[in-house]
Every structure is written in C-alpha cells, then in structure tokens.
Structure 1
Amino acid sequence: MDRDPFSELLRRTHLSAPSDVGGVIAEQAAALGAADVTVHVIDYELDSLMALAPAGGVPLSVTGTMAGRAFSTTTALRASPDEGSGERLWMPLVDGTERLGTLGLTFPDGVLDEPLLALCERYAHLAAILLVAKGAYGDAIERTRRRRPMTIASELVWALAPPLVFATDGLAVSGMLEPCYDNGGDAFDYAVNGRTLHAAVLDAMGHGLAAAGVAAFAISAYRHSRRDGRDLVATHLAMDQAVGEQFPDDRFVTAIIAELDLDTGVLSWISAGHPRPLVVRGGRRARSLIATPCTPLGVPGGPAAEVAHESLQPGDLVLFFTDGLSEASREDGTRLGVEGLGAFIEREAAAGLTVAETLRRLRRSLLHATDDLADDATALLVQWRGGDEHGLLPQTVE
C-alpha cells in the first residue's frame, strides 16, 4: 500500500475540472488501500448528503445514518459495511470548521491501524480543501448540493453569503438563511480582522428579487465601509446614505451591525430598526440585549445612531436574527416568538451542541411543521470563549 497518496492527488487536481474532482478524490483513495470509496456533499437544507462520487450515487440522510452522524458530529466513525466483509470508515469533510460532507472508505478487516487512520484524516482534510477550491470554477458541486430549483433572488443572496461556519481561538460563528431555495430580502455577513469579529444581519423590505437586490446592495455598502476601516457609527451612516440615495422610493433595510472584541468580550452594536439580539449565558437565562434603535437604513430624518455595549462572559451565546425567525410557527401552529426562540437556544446549549448543529436543528424544527415559512428567517449565532471551536474540528475515530 502507498502510504503517501497526497502527491498524486495534488498533481491530478491541478488540471482537473470541477466535475472531475470528486472522482479523482475517490480514485486516489485506493492508494490508501481503500475500496468502495464515496464522496458526499451536504445539501442546502442540511438534511441530506448528496453523492458526488460515484456520480448518481444514493443520497444519505443526515438523520439515522452513520454518514450523517459523522457529518453532524464531525467525528470519524468505524462500522461494518452494508455489503460484504471489512470495515467501513466514515470521515467528515471539513474545510477549517465548515462542514462540507463525508468521505466513505472500506478497508479489509484488521487493516485500520493508527498510522492509517491518521492518513485518512489528513486525506479527508485535503479532499475538503480541494472541493472548496475547485468548486469556485464550475457548477458541478453546486448543482449536486441542490435538491430543488433556486430562485434568482436566492442566487443573489447566497452569492454574497460567507461560509456558514467559522471558528478561531475563543470564537465560533454559524449562520442560517431560510428558506434556502427561496430567500429574498434577508442577508448576513461576518469577518474576523485581527482580534475583532465584525457581524451584520439585514432584512430588506419585501420579498423576492427586488428585496434581494436591496439587501445585496446594503451588504456591499457594509463591506465597503468595514474594509475602509470605519467604526460602527461611520459604517452605519455610510450604509444609510447609500441605501437612501440608491433607492429613493419607499424601500428600506433593518439591520444590526456589531463588533466583538475577542480579547475582552465587549460586544458593541447598532440597531437600525432591527429585532434585539438574544444572549444565552450558562446554557440558560436567555435575554434580549437592549439598545436605543435608530430608523431602518434608507429612511430619512431619523435620530443619530447610538452604539450599545455588552460585556460577554466566557461561554456566552449571542443570536442575531430577523423577525421571520421569531414569527415562524411551531409544530402546534403557535408562533415561536422571542421567548420560544430563546428557549430553543437554551436547550441546545445545555445539551452541549455546537453553534453549527444548533442552527441546523433549529432549521429542522421550524420546517417540521411546514415546508413554507411565512417570511425569510435568518440568524447568526456567535459563541465567545465557550470551546465550540474545538468541537467543530474533526474528532477522533470512534
């Protein structure tokens, strides 16, 4: 067995097309001694793992399968294969902390020793990096992830969205955009520069392509000011003026723009007519963060923006969200509400789930009662110094 399969994988993917990369990853895994290799990527609904290699393979549910468990827990799992003898290894495909899918490999009995397991973990990491890198050059991976047609408005919103999961020392961030195939008007963004997290959640008036266009413009204005080094007040002013000048009709955008000092835990934010963020401390006691709001972006004649501050404690979770989330219906038909939303985050935090898995389960809970949300539901969940960044990394084989 070749114990160094990486060089050939890298060599072949230099000139491979995006539609070929899954097959190349599967073929080169033979150098590890693996057979029946499968590559699955997660769908937009975060419910199913869609087969990238072999092409046309069977989707796997995240719920109730070993592959799904490997994905949701970012843990490599050993099991018996569905057919024949040997041992099946399910590896999570993780780029940094962004969960992309799974890599399945079958080995003869007794072969999976510690050195080979370590090689498989590194191979899965390299495979995830290659999927992200090659995916930018074509549509094959993107099309595989889709189980339904996507609206033009959602195409625009998703094109601007950052990765759904990011973590670094003392910080974990996860985002959600729903309905994933028909979102138009909500958007979120974040960036980590030095020891500061910059974050924004926006909700443009209306729905569909017109609202998505306003939201996309507002996100671009936010990034322009942020990258220019402006503080929160100057950023808000620039965004407000840009939206008002570009859309002088009745269109407007509610927004939260925030900064978190990763060393001190001081959260600073401005609310432009947006729902109050929630903070969950110690896995309980969810409460709203109070700030004096100004008018939504693009609405003339409002008061000057005021920056609010909150000192976070280690382990605190902060949820930024749009009103479509709190107004969503529960299984019994009642509205979730801010209290219900806070209770859900409390419960998942008490269970020790990561920010990424918490939002995935929140999505499933909301859409269990209905496949069609009444309004866009967007969220950004942030944890400060709670250790989630370690839970989001690929874990030891069980």
Structure 2
Amino acid sequence: MKYLTSFGTMMLAMVLLSGCNDEGPTLHALYGDYESTKVFDIDTKSMKLESVMDVAPADGPYGVECDSDREAFALTRKSDSIAVVDFRRDRVVKVIPLKFHPRSTATLPNIDLVLVSGKTEPMAVTIGKTDHRVKRYFGNETGQNVDTAHYFGGGNNTGHPFWLADGKRFLLLDRVNRKISLYDKENEVPLYEIQTETTAHHVLYRPVDVDASGNGTYYVVLEGPADPNDATIPAAGIMKLTVDGNNVINVEEIFHAAHEDGGAHHARFYGDKYIFFPTYSGKVYVVDKESMKQVSTFQAGEGAGHITFSIRKRMAIVTNHKATYVTVVDVSNPQSPVVVKNIDVAMPLTAEERNAGKNAQAHTCSFDETGRYFYSVANCDAKFYEIDLDYLWVSRTLQLPGTYVPMGDFVRY
C-alpha cells in the first residue's frame, strides 16, 4: 500500500510538472519577402526565425494570409499564381495557377472556400480550402490599370475582398471601374452594383449591425485623390451603406476627411461606436458611426495607414508608412485621444525607395494576448520588432534574411 501511495504521488507530480511546462500555443508571425520567393515564420515569444519557406516558382510573396491554424496563402504578387504553405511542417503544399496576380484573400470559418482578389485584373476567384482547386472566377479581364494619376492607392486593381456573414455572398471592390459589386458565390453575374466616387480599399463592420445572413450596415474606405491639391477628385472618406435581403446596396452617407489630408487606406472600429480613420497627412479622424460626424482628431505621422488597438491597455498604435516612427495613443476616452509618444522603428526612406512606392513600415501587425507587446516589421530594413507598451520602447528586434518585407499575418500554434 505504501508503494502504491508513493507511485501515485510520483505520477501526480509528473503530471503537474508536465502541466507547468505546457504553455500552450505561441504567437507566430508569417511574412513574405517581396524581392524573393521566401516566406518567414517567426516565433514571437523566443524572437527567433522558426523557418524559411521557398514558394518558387511563384514569385514576390508580398504578404501571407492564414486561412487556418495550419495553412496560409502567400500572396505572390509578381506571378499569375498563389502559393499554399503548411507552416506547421515548413513546406509548400501547392502553387495554384491563376488568371491574374493575387492581391488579397478573405475566408470564413463556416465555408470551405478562400476568396482571392486580383492585383493585375479587377477580378476575384474562389479556391477550395481543402482541395486547393479553383472553383469560379468573377469579374472580367480588362487589361486596364487603376488611374493612379488621379486616384490614391497604388496600382492594385481591386480592394480587399469581403464575405458577407451568410458565406454565400461577397463584395468585390473594383478599383479600375470604381464600383462595388455584390456576388453570389455560385454565379458570375453580379447581384447588384454601385459606383463609388473614388477607388474603394476595404470594408469594415460591427457584428451588432448585421444579421446572420449578412444583411445590415457596412462601412467602406474611399481612398480619395492621388494629389491632395486636385480638387476634381473627392476627398478620402468613409461610405456607410446597407445590404438588404433583396440584394440591394444602398449608400446611406459619406464622411469626408479634409481634402488636404490626401488619401486613405484603412480604418478601424474601437468598440461599437467609433471609427478611427487615418489619412496620408498623418491626421487621424475619430468618427461616430451612427451620425457619421467627426468627434475628434489627432496627429500621427506621414502616411498613417493602419491603427491597431490594445484593448487591455486602452492604447493604440498608428502605423505611419512613410515615417520612421509609429505613434502610440491613449484611447481611454475615444472622444479625446491623446498622443503619448512616437517610437522610432525604421530607417528613413531613401529617394529611390519613395520613387518606387515603397513603405517604411509593414501593413500588418499584432499585439500579444496580454496587450502589452506589439509586433510588426520595418519593411526596407527587413527587421521584425517588438514594442513594450509598459516602457514605450522597442524591446527586441530580429533581422530577417530578406530585402523588402511589407505584409504578413499572425497565428497561434
């Protein structure tokens, strides 16, 4: 009996010890090197490069977007194909031929499809998550480019694709023809289309504003003019629209930034009431989503394009694509945000890099689960970095074996 008790105690201790060592999934960052065929997998906890995957013959992985906790799509924007990588096994699963260079993807957990929009054509395609087969194309090959002489946003022919909650319909943002098309995934003919006053970049919404079928209210970022002095093009803005059960899109209202603030790419909700809307000049607008009126503004840096919130810390970080620093903001009172500090993360862009349209800071970033640590990349430096919000400094960096690392995704495994 004494032996059994001792054995039981020993086994219990081993179980407890094993439990103490099991720290669960780790946050990983997956980024692409646009000037090569390499995709990087970074362990953020150890700040080490876990693996390098080569997606050749696909070329130019501008970014990486995860569709599960195992697989991701490398957006190989220099080739008519898209690469699927299994980051758990550090290997390329398949390179899928396409009719265009890929721009961005959208997924939903309740459907076995990935929606991919085009960089070189105002089109989209659905691909099976499981079998990796092309299912159906939407839109038409035109050979046309976005009118970048007048409209902000670079040469991408579409904005970000967007699934409605029903998993049956999606929105395609056609930036060449400046229109938004509503499609059913089983039909190449649009259900409904509207024109937009400038090119549209992405869609945002709050779940409380839509039903299970995806009918309800959405907000679309309008990119505005390429030249802030060009008064013939409407200013950048946020368009509020509704989609109903009859597949009709209605434009409710448009909030416009000041014309001199230049173009815009992204906006983000803070809570269910406020939209934070960065503009190229660095001015960030806080907009009430119901009234579509300006609540307040604050100043970030040149090329302000993305804003990410640490809900636990009640802080935000603004990515300033053309500046050397990110802007840390106290959003405890979203009606009156306070800039806390600008933190240098990148080297200044050279004239050559600016002329090539390159950015100093990546489009994608993330906080850890505590909300204390912020992760992103200095593009041209190919340097992954961590910011500690408790101390407001760059706490760790990791030099990547790349040249230009502009976009990625984050996943726990």
The TM-score range, normalised by the shorter chain, is: 0.3 to 0.5
TM-score (norm 2): 0.31
Greater RCO (CA < 8 Å, at least 6 residues apart): 1
TM-score (norm 1): 0.32
Higher strand share: 2
Higher helix share: 1
